[in-house]
């Protein structure tokens, strides 16, 4: 669900992302810019160039999105994330 406004020269993309139980979100990818992820519900494993970080509800992670990365939900409940990234991709 996109949260960002729509105006000229916008550089941030904010959205709510849901990851189903025991599933990943796409494959490992990279893009220009950076990403900030705050876990609202559940837990997510963020793989950044082969290093895995367990991020639980109430925790966040911020990284250069130029490094290959992916997200995986290891739990039997959905994960709900607030993510803000640059540049806009949607």
Please give the C-alpha separations between residue 56 and each of 53, 75, 76, in angstroms, as whole numbers.
10, 11, 14
Residues in the chain: 90
Stronger pLDDT, 8 or 35, i.e. the higher one: 35
User: How many domains are contained in the chain?
Assistant: 1
Let me know if residue 10 belongs to a domain: no
Nearest to 42 by CA among 1, 74, 85, 69: 74
CA–CA dist 71, 33 (Å, integer): 17
Let me know if residue 47 belongs to a domain: yes
What's this model's pTM, rounded to 2 decimal places? 0.92
Q: What is the pLDDT of residues 27-46, one digit of tens each?
A: 899 999 999 999 999 999 99
- CATH number, domain of 36, equals 2.60.120.10
Find the domain containing 62 and state its range. Answer: 18-83
**In the chain, how long is the greatest CA-to-CA distance?**
41
Backbone CA torsion sign across 75, 39, 51, 72 = positive
Let me know if residue 11 belongs to a domain: no
CA dihedral 9, 30, 36, 11 (to 10 degrees): 0
Indicate the pLDDT class of residue 26, thresholds 50, 70 and 90.
Answer: confident
């Amino acid at each position: 669900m996109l949260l960002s406004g729509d105006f000229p020269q916008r550089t941030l993309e904010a959205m709510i992302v849901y990851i189903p139980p025991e599933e990943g979100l796409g494959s490992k990818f990279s893009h220009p810019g950076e990403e900030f992820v705050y876990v609202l519900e559940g837990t997510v494993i963020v793989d950044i160039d082969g290093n895995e970080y367990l991020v639980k509800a109430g925790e966040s992670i911020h990284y250069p999105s130029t490094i290959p990365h992916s997200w995986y939900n290891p739990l039997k409940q959905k994960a709900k994330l607030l993510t803000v990234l640059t540049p806009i991709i949607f």
